[in-house]
Amino acid sequence: MGEQNVQQNSDEATRRAFMKALLDEVRALEDMHQKGMFESGVRRIGAEQEMFLVDRASRPALTAMQILERMDDPRFTHELGLFNLEANLSPLALGGDCLRQLEAETNEVMNIARAKAGEVGTRVALVGILPTLTREHLSLDAIVPTARYFALNEALLRLRGSNFQISIKGIDQLSFKHDNLMLEACNTSFQIHFQVGPEEFAHLYNIAQAVTGPLLAASVNSPILLGKRLWHESRIAVFEHSIDARSEAHAARGHKPRVHFGDSWIDESVIEIFKEDIARFRVILTTEFEEDPIGMVARGEVPRLNALRLHNGTVYRWNRACYGISDNGKPHLRIENRVIPSGPTVLDEVGNAAFFFGMMAKLSRSIDDIREHLNFADVKSNFLAAAREGIRAQQIWFDDRQMTAQELVLDILLPLAREGLAEAGIDSDDIDRYLGVVQKRVERRRTGARWQLESLEKMRGQGSAHECHRALTSSMIEQEQSGKPIADWELAEFCRSQDWRDSYRTVGQFMATDLFTVRPDDIVDFAASLMEWRYVRHVPVEDDSGQLLGLVSHRQLLRLVARGGKMDQTTMVRDIMRPDPLSVGPETTTVEAIRLMREKRLSCLPVVEEGKLVGLVTEYDLIVVAGRLLESYLAEE
């Protein structure tokens, strides 16, 4: 997440001073560009490994700070959530065995993370979005307690003027409001860096944009969020919503969100990107900065450009321009590709990186200007289609050719990447190893996303959704450590030997959510028909906004008939429903719900959030819970 010594720019004088520094640093960057101060003719690669922390029940574990306290390794740092960790890997010269070195170091940091996590009862999972995440994990109680994150949260909410709102349609649909930026912590990635010279930046940045769609299609590993099956790479939509600082007025005007792909090619240099981001996105954080960066450049000194780097760190392009200073003291430019999700394995991640580096290397030499071959609108469309559909997405390539991502990757881009890596001097055995991993995955259509979705389909009906997500996550962790790439994984199995108590601690974990409801002015015969058709004994009554108004039970219908009442068009639901029924929230413990139903002699408990109906718990649900836990208990004897 970048610079930590920050503060929210609530003081107007501080904000103005920071803005002046930001503008001066852009001018200093222009002077550096003109004076040829940037490192050139050198090609380096690098990566950042993000990961999830989970407990023995495969649920998010808020142990990041405890684990970091046990580490003496500067490569590790925290991320936004207490259930995330990040490791920054060493930069490597592109060539020879650099990919093998990248894999070795990634495995090294993963082994360190697993060992230290194990000391606090925690495991490590490599996945774009953790399947067992729930709303309870997205409170500020789970945020890493640093000034930067709290300041960023306050600043984004202030700019929006309202809570964050997320709406994603996939196989299922997810729509809800959230009052903090912890949605961002739902995402982990394997971010890769590609160092470029200033004179070639525009050319290579445009190429990076062009290849990002098919790269993502082959890499997808984030299909599940908060129990819903959404896009194959739901991170793309989630991240855009989680850092969306636009007010309703700005969104209506078409103002870009802070997370975006872009809307056009760049023409000449990296400076275009920095200028556009300063022009479009308000400063939300400030930090200490150098007094005279322009003078420093005039004297031949290299400025750190702290203000520019901080602001750049609050704008999240999927291909981000980065300024840095190498160990030799020379300033350099990098393209940071942020689309590759974490996992499913280190080998898969390095394969994805090799695919990207190879495409970049070949296309940078084989074409003069990619803008002559592709329309930017098609490139952006490729990216969004890949996020939604993965390897089966439709893609547009040179000469307006349209094909599936699978065809594009196998027939055109993998051979091209192979040539690019060979021309860059990568060892031939490593080219075969890493691109072979991608090729097998794409040929078998076994991306991480498809593995998760197919595994859940296989487990359908064997347990609750929460139980299946725990089994999925547990299998993911075990198979990742086997060393086999995702293409060789077996589908996850529903494991009945696990301790299922963690799947039934709150009513939100097992409540029914696929509800059939009625309105107060519906005829009673409709409520009776619903009970007959759907084999249920309770029908909630709600208004058009989802507000819970009442409950109709099978017993009430029997009472109506026993008293000689008729179920015709003159008798409405409001005439027999129990108004304002006792309800609970999703975080109500199962033990509390059982006691409440026993004491009040209730056979059904509606579950509501902010007055809106979100689920239903019945006596039958509790019998299933009791049966599952009793079976598990007896099996241990």
For residue 426, what are the β-bridge partners? 96
Domain annotation covers residue 497:
no
- What token pair was written down for 1? 């997440």
- What token pair was written down for 464? 């609750």
Among residues 206, 62, 78, 67, the alpha carbon closest in space to that of 133 is found at: 62
Domain that includes residue 103, residue range: 6-443
**Residue 269 three-state SS:** coil
In the predicted model, residues of the chain with pLDDT beneath 50 are 1-4, 9
Domain annotation covers residue 177:
yes
d(Cα 326, Cα 411) in Å, to the nearest integer?
38
Contacts of 228 (CB under 8 A, 6+ apart): 168, 170, 172, 173, 174
Domain annotation covers residue 18:
yes
Dihedral of alpha carbons 138, 123, 473, 242, sign = positive
Domain annotation covers residue 493:
no
* 279 burial via Cβ count (<10 Å: 0-12, 13-18, 19+): exposed
Give residue 548's pLDDT: 94
CATH number at residue 105: 3.30.590.20
CATH number at residue 579: 3.10.580.10
d(Cα 76, Cα 86) in Å, to the nearest integer?
6
* 107 burial via Cβ count (<10 Å: 0-12, 13-18, 19+): middle
- Do residues 478 and 423 both lie within one domain? no
- Do residues 455 and 542 both lie within one domain? no
Dihedral of alpha carbons 344, 347, 351, 354, sign = positive
Domain annotation covers residue 68:
yes
- Do residues 78 and 173 both lie within one domain? yes
Among residues 218, 275, 126, 143, the alpha carbon closest in space to that of 407 is found at: 218
Strand spans (E) along 274-317: 285-287, 316-317
Domain annotation covers residue 63:
yes
d(Cα 491, Cα 451) in Å, to the nearest integer?
7
Domain annotation covers residue 501:
no
Kindly report each contact of residues 157-161 with a partner whose C-beta sits within 8 Å and lies 24 or more positions away, as own/partner.
Answer: 157/181, 159/245, 159/246, 159/247, 159/282, 159/284, 160/244, 160/245, 160/246, 160/247, 161/247, 161/248
- Do residues 383 and 479 both lie within one domain? no
Q: 342 near 189, Cβ under 8 Å?
A: yes
- Do residues 114 and 199 both lie within one domain? yes
- Do residues 215 and 282 both lie within one domain? yes
Strand spans (E) along 14-137: 44-54, 76-78, 84-88, 92-93, 123-125
- Do residues 393 and 343 both lie within one domain? yes
The dihedral over CA atoms of 96, 100, 106, 111, expressed in degrees to the nearest 10, equals -140
**Residue 564 three-state SS:** coil
Domain annotation covers residue 47:
yes
Kindly report each contact of residues 248-256 with a partner whose C-beta sits within 8 Å and lies 24 or more positions away, as own/partner.
Answer: 248/161, 248/162, 255/280, 256/280
**CA separation, residue 144 to residues 136, 139, 183, 440 (Å):** 16, 11, 13, 39
- Do residues 551 and 603 both lie within one domain? yes
- Do residues 419 and 529 both lie within one domain? no
- Do residues 439 and 453 both lie within one domain? no
For residue 404, what are the β-bridge partners? 394
pTM of this prediction?
A: 0.86
d(Cα 215, Cα 291) in Å, to the nearest integer?
42
**Domain stop point among 409, 443, 477:** 443
Q: 262 near 379, Cβ under 8 Å?
A: no
Q: Could you say which DSSP state residue 244 is in?
A: -
- Do residues 16 and 132 both lie within one domain? yes
Domain total for the chain?
A: 3
Dihedral of alpha carbons 619, 620, 621, 626, sign = positive
- Do residues 71 and 180 both lie within one domain? yes
**Domain stop point among 443, 470, 497:** 443
For residue 608, what are the β-bridge partners? 613
* 457 burial via Cβ count (<10 Å: 0-12, 13-18, 19+): exposed
Give residue 9's pLDDT: 47
